[in-house]
Amino acid sequence: MKANQRRRDENAEDPSDEGMIGIGTMIVFIAAVIVAAIAAAVIINTAGNLQRTAQDTGQETTGEVSSNLFVRQVIGNLTEDQDAVEKVYWYLELAPGAMSIDLNNTILQWNHGSNFHDLNMTSEPNCDSEDFNSLEDGFCTRMVFDAGDGSRFVLSSGDKIRVEVHLDDDEVLEPRSDVDALFMPEMGSPVQGGFKVPAALDRPNIVLN
């Protein structure tokens, strides 16, 4: 009988062993929770970075692809005899949501007959200079409406700027002349500014487009 009792006592589990197993399980569980939390934080941070990168890339792509410029109107100023166009005015605005455009870094392509020019901003201080009188001089700008920055070289939101080209006697545009004009800003797609001179020239300033 005593031998059987001893065997039962030997086979009985020590309560302290059960406690050790419970603590070990708890440690493993806590470690697993900590690892899962760290992994989740890393995933969330990575996802946030990817989202910001995607947004930045999307904005840059939109800026490069979309047309930032909007040509509101094209006007022709006639010669004294009113038989040809000697000055061309483009009234420009920014397209909705577009970023500011530095016209110093904008090219105006002019194509009329055998006259093809890549026009840049003139070095003359204003459009009224006597030295600004041909395609070779490029284009000049006048601020029509200033929304706040005060620069006639930078087209910002709300601004209205007039771009001018002055033609010499060999470059004037006769009735029915077709001109292909293309504004090429530093950012954004090119914008058409072409026009055709009407057959009848009956006033000093005529609408070309």
Residue ranges covered by each domain of the chain:
2-64, 69-207
> Is residue 108 within 8 Å of residue 183, measured between CB atoms?
yes
Q: Give 33's Cβ-side CA count (13 Å radius).
A: 6
pLDDT at 84: 96
pLDDT at 149: 67
Per-residue pLDDT of the chain in tens (209 residues, 90 and over written 9): 555 555 555 555 555 555 566 777 878 888 888 888 888 878 887 766 666 654 544 444 444 445 688 999 999 999 999 999 999 999 999 988 888 898 999 999 999 988 899 999 987 767 888 888 899 999 999 999 988 766 778 888 889 999 999 999 999 999 999 999 999 998 888 999 999 999 999 899 999 98
Query: Do residues 192 and 71 touch, judged by C-beta distance below 8 A?
Result: yes
pLDDT at 57: 46
CATH class of 69-207: mainly beta
**Nearest-angstrom CA–CA distance, 117 and 90:** 17
pTM of the predicted model, to two decimals? 0.68
Residues 6+ apart with CB under 8 A from 91: 71, 72, 73, 74, 75, 144, 160, 161, 162
pLDDT of residue 120: 94
Which positions ≥6 away from 176 have C-beta within 8 Å? 196, 197, 198, 199
DSSP 137: G
